[in-house]
Structure 1
Amino acid sequence: MRVGVSAAKQDSKLELNTYHRVIIPVYIPNLKEEYFEDGLEILKFCIDSLLKTIHSKTRVTIINNGCCDIVVAYLYDKYQKEDTIDQLFHSDINLGKVNAIYGALKSNLEPLITITDADVMFLPQWQNAVEHIFEQFPKAGMVSPVPSSIAFENEMGSSTIGYAILKGALSIEKTINRKGLERFQESIGRTLYEEPHLEEIPVLRMGEKAAAIGCGHFVVTMKRSSFDNAPVRPSAHKIVGGSERRYIDKPNNDGGFLRLATLDNYAYHLGNKVEEWMVAEKPKSKQTIKTRPLEKLHFEEKGLSKRFRIFGLIVLKLFKKNPSLKMWYFKKKGLTYDKY
């Protein structure tokens, strides 16, 4: 038997008073194996630095993606104590990064979604710097607080490359934060960058508006509409097998959205071992960050024409086939080195 009318039916419209959500999938199955033994401490760096560097219009979703009991207890304690963490999802098994993210993504309405690995340290003003790029470039769909000078080569940024070249807006400029690039390659345990990549970076510049071209996806803020072209079915792979490419990179590029990064470095990828510098650089106190009025946020839902993506793909293929052509063009745009 049912008596009366549900209050939810009388007030059915969802009211949104936030505009930025951060989603963190966490997979730390144990603290005994060498790979995971510092996992909890690294996770604490991540969550504590995030909470100190986000503004009041932000909410956080954490996904326990098959973690051990000690890590689950820590996550539950943070959820209980921190109002900003308004969602804690649990799965006894590892669903894979993409499936965990999409489970949270589909149930939230914020127009900006930051996806981050659980081994990222956020630095002061990262959120303001990222949101500023979305304001400067309304066609941006994917913006990272960590620039990468070799991201230009990724064909999943072909819409951005085509746009930058056809608009005459590509520039090779001095790297602002060499240390950030060096720290990233140290964190993954292999060499990514040669000397020219550490010193100069491809930039999309339109007057005073500027952003690094391309980015990785270990931490990235995305416009909700950039997911519209994503596959409908769940990913069959946990991490490997191209899941992030198909579910994150490709939908953004196919939709004609720009793939960019901040010029300065606003986050560190930590890897799986605690180091002394992490303690020194961890944000010490809660930051005061300016928020954008919700009514003034106008994120363009429609991306660039596919001609930019096709032209970008042609350019990348030509540059790969003929490196001297790439060098000629980069030199014309400001490169000072003889290789890149």
Structure 2
Amino acid sequence: MRIGTNPEKLQNILEIDSYHRVVIPVYIPNLTEDYFKDALKIFKLCFESLQKTIHSKTRISIINNGCCDEVLNYLTKIYNVHENVDQLLNSKINLGKVNALYSAIKSNLEPLITITDSDVMFLPEWQQKVENILEAFPESGMVSPVPSSIAYKGEFLYSTIYYALTKGKLQFTNVKHPDGLEKFEKSIGRQLYNQTHKEKYLTVTSKKEKAVLGCGHFVATFKADVFNHAPKENCKLKIVGGSENNYLDKPNDKGGFLRLATHGNYAYHLGNIFEPWMEDKMNEINKETHSNELLNTLPISKPYNKFQYTIGKTWHIIFFKKLKSFYFGIKGVKKPF
């Protein structure tokens, strides 16, 4: 039996007071195995640095993706204590990284969504720098606060290449924070960059901002429009195996959006082993006092069409693979890059 009318039927328009959401999937099944023994300590640095560096128009979704009880207790605590953590989604099993992400991505209304691994330390101004690029490049759909000198080599940059070679003023620019590249190498346990990479980035320029060409996806801010181009079916893989390419990178590129990074380095990938410098760096981060949003309005997206995407794909092969040394030499870098 039902008596009366549900009051929500009289006020059925969804309204939100935020425009930027951060989504963090957390998979820490135990704290005893060597791989996971520091994982909770690392995640606490991630969360605390995020709290210190986001503005008041930001909300946070945390996905408990099959965590052990000690980790779940911590996640529940921060959900209860922090008002901006308005979602804690619990799964007793590991849904896989992509499915965990999409459980939040597809159910929220914010036009900007930052996806981050749980081992990222956010540095001051990361959000402002990322949003500045999204504002300055209406064609952009994916922007990371962690630039990489070798991100231009990625396969999912064809729309970005079209922009770079037609209107982006493609050029080499001095690396602003080489220590960011070095820390990333150390965090993944292998060498990625030669000396030239630590000196130069490939950048594109708009009227307002300069951005690095390409980016990784361990932390990146997306326009929500990007995910309209994602696969409709669930991801069948827990992690890697092309899962993030198919559900994060390809939708951005095939949707006609640019893939960029900030010129400076504004976050660190920490890895799974705690080191004393991390705590020292954390203590240096003062809480930023953004009382309201950084963006007044987000410019209407201007993605490229399939024809422009195809041209970008062709140019990527010609200029960035077949004629790379010659073309980069024209741009001023003759050393291996």
Q: What CA deviation, in whole Å up to 9, does each residue of 1:172-231 have, x standing for no partner?
A: 111111000111111000111111111100001134421011000000000000111100
Counterpart of 1:269 in structure 2 is 269
Cα root mean square deviation, aligned: 1.5
**Contact 2:140–2:301 (Cα < 8 Å) also in 1:** no
Deviates more, 1:34-43 or 1:326-335: 326-335
Counterpart of 1:327 in structure 2 is 325
Counterpart of 1:226 in structure 2 is 226
Q: What CA deviation, in whole Å up to 9, does each residue of 1:274-300 have, x standing for no partner?
A: 111111111543211364477x41342
**Contact 2:29–2:67 (Cα < 8 Å) also in 1:** yes
**Contact 2:55–2:293 (Cα < 8 Å) also in 1:** no
Counterpart of 1:143 in structure 2 is 143
Counterpart of 1:287 in structure 2 is 288
Counterpart of 1:31 in structure 2 is 31
Residue 287 of structure 2 aligns with an amino acid whose one-letter code is K
Deviates more, 1:274-283 or 1:112-121: 274-283
Shift in Å, 1:303: 0.9
**Contact 2:55–2:294 (Cα < 8 Å) also in 1:** no
Shift in Å, 1:309: 1.9
Counterpart of 1:81 in structure 2 is 81
Q: How many residues align?
A: 336
**Contact 1:223–1:299 (Cα < 8 Å) also in 2:** no
Q: Tell me the secondary structure at the aligned position of residue 86 of structure 1.
A: strand
Matches within 5 A, 1:250-265: 250-265=250-265
Counterpart of 2:124 in structure 1 is 124
What 5-or-longer segments of structure 2 have no aligned partner? Answer: none
Residue 279 of structure 1 aligns with an amino acid whose one-letter code is E
| Separation (CA, whole Å) in 2 of partners of 1:165 and 1:138 | 17
Residue 80 of structure 1 aligns with an amino acid whose one-letter code is N
Residue 15 of structure 1 aligns with an amino acid whose one-letter code is E
| Separation (CA, whole Å) in 2 of partners of 1:330 and 1:284 | 38
Shift in Å, 1:338: 2.0
**Contact 2:31–2:38 (Cα < 8 Å) also in 1:** yes
What 5-or-longer segments of structure 1 have no aligned partner? Answer: none
Q: 1:12 to 1:54 in 2, by over 3 A?
A: same
**Contact 1:123–1:267 (Cα < 8 Å) also in 2:** yes
**Contact 2:164–2:170 (Cα < 8 Å) also in 1:** yes
| Separation (CA, whole Å) in 2 of partners of 1:306 and 1:132 | 27
Counterpart of 1:61 in structure 2 is 61
**Contact 2:140–2:260 (Cα < 8 Å) also in 1:** yes
| Separation (CA, whole Å) in 1 of partners of 2:58 and 2:8 | 25
Residue 286 of structure 2 aligns with an amino acid whose one-letter code is S
TM-score by length of 1: 0.95
Q: Tell me the secondary structure at the aligned position of residue 189 of structure 2.
A: coil
Matches within 5 A, 1:83-122: 83-122=83-122
Residue 157 of structure 2 aligns with an amino acid whose one-letter code is G
Residue 164 of structure 2 aligns with an amino acid whose one-letter code is A
Shift in Å, 1:167: 2.0
Shift in Å, 1:4: 1.1
